C-alpha cells in the first residue's frame, strides 16, 4: 500500500480491504415482504419476452419497493437512490401526499380525454403557469419528455414557417421520430430514417474537454481545474463557442430562415455538461434575429432541482419562447408539458392535434401535489444546500483521487467525470482520456454492493451522474462519499494487483 500511495493520489485512509462497508443512514421504515415472481423468472422474461433494455449492473437489479430516497430489492436489501429514476423522482418515492392525491382523484374521475373539460386540469395549469416568467402562460399537457420536444419542434416550424432547427452536440432531447435527429449522441441513433434533415448541431461548449474554457467559466459552486484566460466579467470561451455556432449561418442555414434552437440548460445524458457563462444568452439573441424560436429543455433541470432557480434557464439570464418539461413534473407519474405563449400556441390551430392521455385528471392531481410538496417542504432550498455540500465534498475527493478529472453541476444535478489516472496534464487539448468502461463498471458495481445507486452518462460513459430525490440529506451525502472512497480504493488495489 505504501508504494501505491507514493505513486498515485487516491488511496483513502478511511478504509482497508478488510474493513466493513460504510453504514447506511438509519431509517424508520420496513419494506413489505416480496411476493412477486422469482428473480430467475424475471431474467428469463427479460431475455425472451421484453424488448432489450439498458442493463445498469452485472447482476440486474430487481426492485420491489420505494420510500422517499430509498429503494428495496426483492430480497429486502436497502439502497440509497442517488439517481432518482433519471432525475424523475422529485419529491421522494411513494411520498404520502402523492399517494393520497392519486387515491383521491382516482375515486372521483380517472379519465375523460382532452375532448372534455375537468377542473383538475385547470387547477394544475394555474399552479404551473404561476411558476413561469413573462408571457409563458399557455400549457399543453402530454405524457413524456419526448412527446413534449416533438411538439415543441412542430410549434417552432409552424410558427416561423421555417424548417431548419439547431441543437448542441452531446445533447439529448429524446429518441422518437424527429428527435433521433435532434439528439446529438450517435449511440441514440438508428440507421432507419432521414430524421436529421434540416437539423444542425453546434459544437458542444464543454469547458472541461472542449477546445476552450477553464476554471472561470461556469455558473457553478465548483469549477474545472483547467486554466483559462477568462475573467469574472467576460468569458472568452463563450465568445469562441458562440462563433462556432454562428458559422452554421455562414455555411448551412440561410440567414433569417431558422425555425428554432433547442438546448438543455445543463446537458443531462451527455454527462452533466454546463455551458460557459453568457453563451446561451448570446445564442438566443442570434436565433431570434434570424427568425427562430428558442426552446429550453427543462426535462431534467426543472422544478427546483438546481437550487437557485425553479427553472435552470433562469440561471443563464434568458427567457425561452417554449419550455419543455417532464420527469420531475410528476414524481415518476407519466406526465409532461409544453409551455409557451398564446401566439405560438395558436399555430396548432391550422390542423387537428390531439393527445388522448395528456391532462388526465389523475396526472393533474399528481402535478398539483408535486408543486405543493416542493413548496411546503422547501425542496428547492434543500437542493441548493445539500447539493452545494455534496459538490464541495466531491471537490475534496478530486484533490485526493487522480481518476476524478472533473466535478460539476448545480443543486442536485451533479456529474463526476472519471479519467485515466495515469495522465498528469489536463490543460492540453486532446490528453483528457476517459477512464475505461471496465474500470467504471467495477466502481459502479462495487457501489451497488454497498447500497448506493447512481447513473452513468457522457459520450464515453465515464461520468457518474447524481440526480437523487430532492429530499436527500447531508447524512446521505456523507454515506455516498464514503462508498465512493471505498469503491475507488478497491479499484486502485485491483489495478495494482493487475486485475484491472
The reported pLDDT for the residue numbered 7 is 38
The reported pLDDT for the residue numbered 9 is 47
Where does 335-431 show beta strands of DSSP type E?
336-340, 404-410, 413-418
Sorted by sequence, the CB contacts under 8 Å of residue 32 that are 6+ apart come out as 64, 65
Record the cell numbers describing residue 376, joined without a space. Answer: 411546503
Rounded (5°) CA angle 394-325-115: 155
According to DSSP, the residues that pair with 414 across neighbouring strands are 409, 466
From residue 31, how far is each of 74, 81, 94, 149, 339 by CA, in Å?
Answer: 10, 15, 12, 37, 39
The reported pLDDT for the residue numbered 427 is 61
pLDDT band of 382, cuts 50, 70, 90 = very high
Q: State whether CATH 3.40.50.880 applies to domain 96-377.
A: no
Spatial separation of the C-alpha atoms in residues 69 and 306, rounded to whole Å:
17
The reported pLDDT for the residue numbered 53 is 81
CA 428 to chain centre: 28
Residues 336-364: what's their mean pLDDT?
Answer: 95
The reported pLDDT for the residue numbered 423 is 58
Looking at residue 262, the DSSP 8-state letter turns out to be E
What class is the 5-82+379-499 domain?
A: alpha beta
pLDDT band of 379, cuts 50, 70, 90 = very high
136-140, 245-249, 259-263, 424-428: the lowest-pLDDT one: 424-428
pLDDT band of 429, cuts 50, 70, 90 = low
pLDDT band of 5, cuts 50, 70, 90 = very low
pLDDT over 70 (residue 324) = yes
pLDDT over 70 (residue 500) = no
The reported pLDDT for the residue numbered 10 is 44
pLDDT over 60 (residue 1) = no
Residues 292-316 have pLDDT tens digits of 999 999 999 999 999 999 999 999 9
Q: In the chain, what are the domain boundaries?
A: 5-82+379-499, 96-377
The reported pLDDT for the residue numbered 426 is 61
The reported pLDDT for the residue numbered 233 is 84
Percent of the chain with pLDDT over 70: 93
The reported pLDDT for the residue numbered 424 is 60
With CA atoms as reference, report the closest residue to 379 among 331, 450, 447, 343. Answer: 331
3-state secondary structure of 219: coil
Please write down the long-range contacts of 438-443, taking CB distance under 8 Å and 24 or more positions apart.
438/500, 439/403, 439/491, 439/495, 439/500, 441/58, 442/487, 442/490, 442/491, 442/494, 442/500, 443/418, 443/484, 443/487, 443/488, 443/490, 443/491
Residues 50-98 have pLDDT tens digits of 988 878 888 999 999 999 999 999 999 999 999 999 999 999 999 999 9
pLDDT band of 8, cuts 50, 70, 90 = very low
Residues 409-422 have pLDDT tens digits of 999 999 999 998 76
Record the cell numbers describing residue 275, joined without a space. Answer: 455551458
The reported pLDDT for the residue numbered 411 is 98
With CA atoms as reference, report the closest residue to 322 among 293, 292, 286. Answer: 293
Same fold, 5-82+379-499 and 96-377: no
Residues 446-462 have pLDDT tens digits of 999 999 999 999 999 99
Residues 161-202 have pLDDT tens digits of 999 999 999 999 998 888 989 999 988 888 776 667 899 999
pLDDT over 70 (residue 33) = yes
Amino acid at each position: 500500500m505504501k508504494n501505491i500511495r507514493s505513486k498515485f493520489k487516491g488511496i483513502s485512509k478511511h478504509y482497508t480491504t478488510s474493513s466493513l462497508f460504510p453504514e447506511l443512514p438509519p431509517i424508520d421504515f420496513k419494506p413489505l415482504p416480496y411476493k412477486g415472481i422469482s428473480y430467475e423468472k424475471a431474467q428469463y422474461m427479460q431475455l425472451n419476452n421484453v424488448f432489450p433494455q439498458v442493463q445498469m449492473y452485472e447482476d440486474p437489479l430487481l426492485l420491489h419497493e420505494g420510500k422517499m430516497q430509498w429503494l428495496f430489492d426483492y430480497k429486502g436489501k436497502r439502497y440509497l437512490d442517488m439517481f432518482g429514476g433519471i432525475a424523475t423522482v422529485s419529491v421522494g418515492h411513494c411520498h404520502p401526499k402523492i399517494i393520497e392525491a392519486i387515491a383521491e382523484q382516482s375515486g372521483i374521475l380517472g379519465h375523460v380525454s382532452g375532448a372534455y373539460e375537468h377542473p383538475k386540469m385547470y387547477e394544475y395549469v394555474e399552479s404551473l403557469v404561476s411558476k413561469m416568467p413573462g408571457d409563458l402562460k399557455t400549457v399543453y399537457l402530454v405524457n413524456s419528455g419526448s412527446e413534449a420536444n416533438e411538439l415543441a419542434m412542430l410549434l417552432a416550424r409552424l410558427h416561423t414557417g421555417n424548417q431548419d432547427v439547431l441543437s448542441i452536440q452531446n445533447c439529448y432531447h429524446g429518441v422518437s421520430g424527429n428527435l433521433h435527429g435532434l439528439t446529438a449522441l450517435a449511440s441514440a441513433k438508428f440507421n432507419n430514417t432521414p430524421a436529421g434533415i434540416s437539423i444542425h448541431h453546434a459544437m458542444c461548449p464543454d469547458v472541461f474537454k472542449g477546445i476552450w474554457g477553464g476554471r472561470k467559466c461556469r455558473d457553478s459552486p465548483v469549477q474545472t481545474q483547467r486554466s483559462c484566460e477568462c475573467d469574472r466579467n467576460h468569458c472568452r470561451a463563450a465568445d469562441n463557442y458562440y462563433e462556432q455556432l454562428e458559422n452554421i449561418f455562414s455555411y448551412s442555414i440561410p440567414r433569417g430562415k431558422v425555425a428554432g434552437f433547442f438546448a438543455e440548460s445543463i446537458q443531462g445524458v451527455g454527462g452533466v455538461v454546463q455551458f460557459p457563462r453568457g453563451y446561451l444568452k448570446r445564442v438566443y439573441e442570434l436565433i431570434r434575429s434570424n427568425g427562430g424560436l428558442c426552446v429550453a429543455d427543462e426535462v431534467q433541470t426543472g422544478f427546483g432541482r438546481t437550487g437557485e432557480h425553479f427553472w435552470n434557464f433562469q440561471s443563464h439570464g434568458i427567457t425561452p419562447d417554449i419550455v419543455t418539461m417532464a420527469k420531475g413534473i410528476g414524481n415518476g407519474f407519466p406526465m409532461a408539458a409544453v409551455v409557451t405563449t398564446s401566439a405560438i400556441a395558436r399555430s396548432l390551430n391550422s390542423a387537428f392535434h390531439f393527445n388522448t392521455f395528456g391532462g388526465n385528471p389523475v396526472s393533474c392531481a399528481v402535478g398539483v401535489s408535486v408543486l405543493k410538496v416542493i413548496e411546503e417542504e422547501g425542496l428547492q432550498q434543500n437542493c441548493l444546500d445539500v447539493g452545494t455540500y455534496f459538490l464541495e465534498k466531491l471537490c475534496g475527493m478530486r484533490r485526493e483521487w487522480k481518476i476524478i478529472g472533473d466535478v460539476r453541476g448545480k443543486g442536485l444535478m451533479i456529474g463526476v467525470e472519471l479519467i485515466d489516472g495515469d495522465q498528469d496534464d489536463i490543460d492540453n487539448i486532446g490528453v483528457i482520456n476517459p477512464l475505461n468502461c471496465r474500470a467504471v463498471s467495477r466502481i459502479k458495481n462495487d457501489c451497488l454492493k454497498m447500497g448506493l445507486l447512481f447513473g452513468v452518462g457522457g459520450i464515453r460513459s465515464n461520468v457518474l451522474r447524481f440526480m437523487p430525490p430532492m429530499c436527500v440529506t447531508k447524512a446521505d451525502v456523507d454515506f455516498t462519499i464514503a462508498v465512493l472512497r471505498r469503491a475507488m480504493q478497491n479499484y486502485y488495489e485491483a489495478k495494482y494487483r493487475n486485475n484491472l
